[in-house]
Amino acid sequence: MNTVINGNKEGYWEHYYNDGQLMFKGNYINGNLDGYWEYYYTDGQLRYKGNYTLGKRDGYWEGYHKNGQLMSKGNYVNDNMEGYWENYFSNGQLCYKGNFINGKGEGYWEGYHKNGELDYKEYNIR
């Protein structure tokens, strides 16, 4: 655990807050974040989880509010949001949903109020 080879982080690593609570854990390959990672709030609650490829977010990710409710979910490609994403308020209600191409919103989007009522519908063209 926490190995450095030729100045590069390698293998499984864990990092802790000053109080000993886990901050993040995951793998490095040749100094790059690679594979599955988890990040935590200072109280130990899961904050984010997802995959890296050669130091860039890649594949499915989820984020959580401090109260444990799902905050966001979707895919990354080469560190850019890609495809369908959903974002939620801390009360669990859907905040918005839509598609990303190369990290930019495109196509049909819907946004909601915290009470679940529709706020907007729009179509974005890059």
Paired strand residues for 41: none
* H or E segment and range at residue 124: strand 118-124
In order of their start, the domains of the chain are 3-124 (2.20.110.10)
- Could you tell me which residues come within 8 angstroms of residue 5 by beta carbon, excluding any fewer than 6 positions away? none
How far from the centroid of its chain's Cα atoms is residue 85's Cα? 11
Paired strand residues for 81: 76
pLDDT of residue 114: 96
pLDDT of residue 125: 84
Paired strand residues for 46: 40
The three-point CA angle 62-72-102 to 5° equals: 90
- Counting Cα atoms < 13 Å in the Cβ hemisphere of 77 gives 9
pLDDT of residue 71: 98
- Are 17 and 31 within 8 A, CB to CB? no
Q: pLDDT in tens for each of the 126 residues of the chain?
A: 789 999 999 999 999 999 999 999 999 999 999 999 999 999 999 999 999 999 999 999 999 999 999 999 999 999 999 999 999 999 999 999 999 999 999 999 999 999 999 999 999 886
